[in-house]
Structure 1
Amino acid sequence: MLDIIIHLLLAILMPPLLLGVIVKTKAAFAGRVGAPLLQPYYDIARLLRKGSVFSDTTTWVFRAGPVVTLAATAVAALLVPLGNHPAPVSFAGDMILFAYLFGLARFFTTVAALDTGSSFEGMGAAREVTFSCLAEPTLFFALITLARMSGSLSLTPMLTHATVGDWLTAGASLLLLVGALFLVLLVENCRIPFDDPTTHLELTMIHEVMVLDHSGPAFGLILYGAALKLFVLGAFFMNVALPVRTGNTLADWGIFVASMLVLAVAVGVVESVMARLRLIRIPQLLVAATILSAFSMLLILR
């Protein structure tokens, strides 16, 4: 019961902190002080206190978009084990539900953007769906690889099965898998080099353009949902990349929290040392991620 409570508290409270760490890291690279670590919390709280403005052209789909997206991401957070601790919800085949919960969230985000009737937001939605179609095979190849290694179709045994010893016996496969999953982490969270979450240049906006018409509490839900998605996919990634197990409950929780902060710093470093790729290069990088995960699966299945 204690593990479930800690799991829920971390899933609720920690996501905005990751965004704050990323911003702080980028500010440090630029030689600036940067916004406070807790600034994402202040922004979300401020938005939740504001009123909302809805266009006359929108329907209930536009209003449901942020709510359904956040709800789907929250359910996905219940399926992923944090560190060495089992997820609150676990059953055979939950890996398929995990993948398509993000698909459901993306679907409602895109249809809410299309519901505005704006060709500008339609352009961003088309790009978002295109990138997700290229990233989804990578995730499924990764799930197949982990299922083969653990002998289970449930995320909890799949992600808690990996140990440091697995890196000695299947290091090549895991290394390819980690590279592919890191690319999926970046593209699914609309981070550089795939998208720039801070840009407002019309020709380069992808995810941000889809939420331009949202305001107030709805936009606050979108910001929190984006932070929660980074947290969930980050936890999935770190279970594979850093399978450190001590056997001590508190120590394992501490290692998990520290690893998530390190991941946020890594994302900030990537965004500080490179620029966003040209649009025609992004599909090539996503195909490369798919090839990496496919080779990882072949090495395990051989």
Structure 2
Amino acid sequence: MADMLLHFLLVLVMPPLLLGVIGKTKAAFAGRVGAPYLQPYYDLARLFRKGVVISDTTTWVFKAGPVITLAATMIAALLIPFGKHAAPISFDGDMVLFAYLFALGRFFTTSAALDTGSSFEGMGSAREVTFSCLAEPTLFFALITLTRLSGSLSLTPMLNYVTLPLWADTGAALLLMLAGIFVVLLAENSRIPFDDPNTHLELTMIHEVMVLDHSGPYFGAILYGASVKLFLLGALFVNLAIPFSSGNTYLDWLLFVACMVALAVSIGVVESVMARLRLIRVPQLLVAAMILTAFSLVLVVR
């Protein structure tokens, strides 16, 4: 019960902190002090207190998009284990549900953007679904590889199977898988080099351009859902990259939190040392990530 409560607490509280750590890391690289680590929490609180402006041309889809997207992401949070602790919900095939809950959220986000009738938001939606079509196979190749190794179709036993002896035996395949998942992590969360979450130039945006017409609590739900999605894909990466446990339950939780913060710092470093790719280069990088995870599957098939 204590593990389940900690699981829920981390899902609810920690995701915005990752955004604060990323922002602080980027500020340090630029020689600035930067916003406080807790700035994302302040921003969310301000948005949830604001009113809402809704265009007369929109329908119920526009209002449902942020709510359904956040709900789907929170359900996905119940399926993935944090560290070596079991997820609150686990069953055979939950890895498919985990992946397609993100797809459900993406569908309603793009539908809400298209519902506005804006050409800019239509452009961002087209880019979002195009890049996701290339990122999704990478995730499934990684999950199939883990299924082959663990013999399970459930995320909890699948990820808990990744231990130091497994790294010693199939380290090359796991490294290729980690590289592919990290690329998907950046692409699915619209981070540099795929997108710049801080820009407001419509011709260069992907995710941000889709939510230009949302405001108040709806926009807050979108930002919070995006941070939870970053947290969950980061948890998937950390579960694979840190295959050991201390034997102490609470120390394992602290290790997981520390690794998530370290991952946020690494994302901030990547965004500080790289520039945003040209749009024609983005599919090439996503295809390369897919090939890496496909090779990882080839290496474990005997």
- The equivalent residue for 1:284 is 284
Q: Which amino acid aligns with 2:189?
A: N
Counterpart-to-counterpart distance in 2, 1:247 and 1:241: 18
Please tell me whether residue 152 in structure 1 is matched to residue 157 in structure 2.
no
Counterpart-to-counterpart distance in 2, 1:115 and 1:65: 10
1:1-302 pair list within 5 angstroms: 1-302=1-302
Counterpart-to-counterpart distance in 2, 1:131 and 1:110: 13
Question: Can you list the C-alpha shifts for 1:202-240, whole angstroms capped at 9, x where unaligned?
Answer: 210110000000000000001100100000110011101
Which secondary structure state, in structure 2, belongs to the residue aligned with residue 75 of structure 1?
Answer: helix
Counterpart-to-counterpart distance in 2, 1:115 and 1:22: 32
Counterpart-to-counterpart distance in 2, 1:218 and 1:196: 21
Q: TM-score, normalised by structure 1?
A: 0.99
Q: CA deviation at 1:244?
A: 2.0
Question: Can you list the C-alpha shifts for 1:162-220, whole angstroms capped at 9, x where unaligned?
Answer: 01221110010001000000000000000000010001112101100000000000000
Question: Can you list the C-alpha shifts for 1:33-79, whole angstroms capped at 9, x where unaligned?
Answer: 00000000000000000000000000000000000000000000000
Structure 1 portions without partners, runs of 5+? none
Counterpart-to-counterpart distance in 2, 1:125 and 1:300: 36
Which secondary structure state, in structure 2, belongs to the residue aligned with residue 78 of structure 1?
Answer: coil
Counterpart-to-counterpart distance in 2, 1:59 and 1:291: 41
Q: CA deviation at 1:120?
A: 0.8
Q: CA deviation at 1:245?
A: 1.1
Question: Can you list the C-alpha shifts for 1:271-300, whole angstroms capped at 9, x where unaligned?
Answer: 000000000000000000000000000101
Counterpart-to-counterpart distance in 2, 1:11 and 1:43: 18
Q: CA deviation at 1:125?
A: 0.2
Give the 4+ runs in structure 1 shifted more than 6 A. none
Structure 2 portions without partners, runs of 5+? none
Counterpart-to-counterpart distance in 2, 1:268 and 1:243: 23
Which secondary structure state, in structure 1, belongs to the residue aligned with residue 292 of structure 2?
Answer: helix
Q: Which amino acid aligns with 2:116?
A: T
Question: Can you list the C-alpha shifts for 1:138-183, whole angstroms capped at 9, x where unaligned?
Answer: 0000000011111100000011110122111001000100000000
Give aligned pairs, total.
Answer: 302
Counterpart-to-counterpart distance in 2, 1:73 and 1:198: 22
| Percent of pairs with identical residues | 74
